[in-house]
């Protein structure tokens, strides 16, 4: 049995592409104020999520992930209110930033997780203040690190990205597949045709 330690509907959708049966359990951890190198923050939180769920379900393999948006040394988490969402979107507008997603897989009855992370460089388009306000009015930014989703068809905030697309959505699938294989899960039935079209040209596929 595989458990996804996440409340994110986007991670559920991505993991479902693999065709591996899984359940979902919210980790319920205190993420606190994130500071430090984005890679270390993401890895620490992914491991904490995996361990929190594994403590309740030790017979299952647990997969957890954490996504960090970083711009000029600052980590942009999920906005707490409309003012913070607007400030984040204006800060990122027309500029480049980094998105790091760490994936942790904890095999059954194991204390040491398998961990890896992916990094994507994202450049935002110059959306208008009116577009920002419309996005906030729809409630789109509030459950997303950096206050945006790359796949958002209405704001369409991203001009270009360099790296893994699914990493920015919240779960780099090629990274997850490799960790699941190392954890002993059967992934031999998973092929590129099952994955989002962006996975076919993902640089992580060749690693």
- pLDDT band with cut points at 50, 70 and 90 for residue 34: low
Question: Where are the extended beta strands (E) located within 7-110?
Answer: 22-24, 61-71, 74-76, 96-106
Amino acid 111: pLDDT: 79
What are 124-182's pLDDT values in tens digits? 999 999 999 999 999 999 999 999 999 999 999 999 999 999 999 999 999 999 999 99
Amino acid 123: pLDDT: 98
Helices (H), 60-207: 82-92, 129-138, 165-169, 173-182
Distance CA 89, CA 72 (A): 14
Amino acid 182: pLDDT: 94
Percent of the chain with pLDDT over 90: 85
Amino acid 170: pLDDT: 96
pLDDT above 80 for 207: no
66 is catalytic: yes
Percent of the chain with pLDDT over 70: 99
**The whole model's pTM is what?**
0.93
- Residue 142: closest CA among 98, 89, 195, 92: 89
- pLDDT band with cut points at 50, 70 and 90 for residue 206: confident
Amino acid 33: pLDDT: 60
Amino acid 93: pLDDT: 98
Catalytic residue selected from 30, 66, 81, 152? 66
What are 42-75's pLDDT values in tens digits? 999 999 999 999 999 989 999 999 999 999 989 9
3-state percent helix, strand, coil for the chain, nearest multiple of 5 = 40, 25, 40
Amino acid 110: pLDDT: 80
């Amino acid at each position: 049995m595989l458990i996804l330690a996440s409340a994110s509907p986007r991670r559920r959708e991505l993991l479902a592409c693999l065709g591996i049966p899984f359940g979902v359990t919210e980790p319920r951890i205190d993420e606190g104020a994130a500071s430090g190198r984005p890679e270390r923050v993401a890895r620490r939180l992914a491991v904490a999520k995996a361990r929190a769920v594994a403590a309740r379900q030790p017979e299952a393999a647990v997969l957890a992930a954490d996504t960090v948006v970083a711009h000029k040394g600052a980590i942009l988490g999920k906005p707490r209110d409309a003012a913070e969402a607007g400030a984040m979107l204006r800060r990122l507008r027309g500029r480049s930033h980094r998105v790091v997603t760490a994936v942790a897989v904890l095999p059954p009855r194991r204390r040491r997780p398998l961990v890896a992370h992916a990094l994507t460089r994202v450049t935002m388009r110059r959306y208008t203040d009116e577009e920002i306000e419309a996005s906030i009015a729809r409630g789109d930014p509030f459950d997303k690190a950096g206050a945006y989703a790359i796949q958002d068809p209405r704001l369409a905030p991203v001009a270009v990205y360099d790296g893994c697309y699914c990493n920015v959505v919240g779960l780099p699938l090629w990274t997850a597949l490799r960790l699941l294989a190392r954890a002993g899960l059967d992934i031999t039935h998973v092929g590129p045709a099952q994955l989002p079209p962006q996975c076919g040209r993902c640089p992580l596929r060749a690693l």
